Amino acid sequence: AQSVAQPEDQVNVAEGNPLTVKCTYSVSGNPYLFWYVQYPNRGLQFLLKYITGDNLVKGSYGFEAEFNKSQTSFHLKKPSALVSDSALYFCAVLTGANNLFFGTGTRLTVIP
């Protein structure tokens, strides 16, 4: 079955330090991968996506993600975390033509 996994429910990082939120995927064929962020009591906001092309994808708010086919990963990264980055992050993969499968989410807390 096609899916994504976010192995960490919670990630804590100090402000100013680099952050990584992990995502691994399992798909047949070419993967289409997405990252969304959810702030408290809000809907999801799109950060970035990988469809084809460069393995390093740059997105909103200084985030980037690297598509690694050999490791079947699409980890989200940012060089210097901000307190305002604290939120719930979702990785998603397109499964078939008509479904976007979301991971269970990783709660990022940036400590001042």
Which residues contact other proteins by CB under 8 A?
A: 32, 36, 41-46, 49, 51, 90, 92, 94, 97-105
Q: Which is nearer to other proteins, 62 or 96 (CB)?
A: 96
Which residue, 63, 88, 62, is CA-closest to 74?
Answer: 63
Shortest distance, CB of residue 14 to other proteins, whole angstroms? 27
Shortest distance, CB of residue 110 to other proteins, whole angstroms? 22
21 contacts 11 by C-beta, under 8 angstroms: yes
Q: Which is nearer to other proteins, 70 or 98 (CB)?
A: 98
Q: What is the CA radius of gyration of the chain?
A: 13
Q: Which is nearer to other proteins, 7 or 16 (CB)?
A: 7
Report the alpha-carbon distance of residue 15 to residue 6 in Å, rounded: 22
Shortest distance, CB of residue 57 to other proteins, whole angstroms? 13
Q: Which is nearer to other proteins, 14 or 100 (CB)?
A: 100
At 25, list the tokens.
Answer: 């995927």
Place of tokens 């994808």: 57
Shortest distance, CB of residue 54 to other proteins, whole angstroms? 16
Residue 11 pairs with which residues in a beta bridge?
108
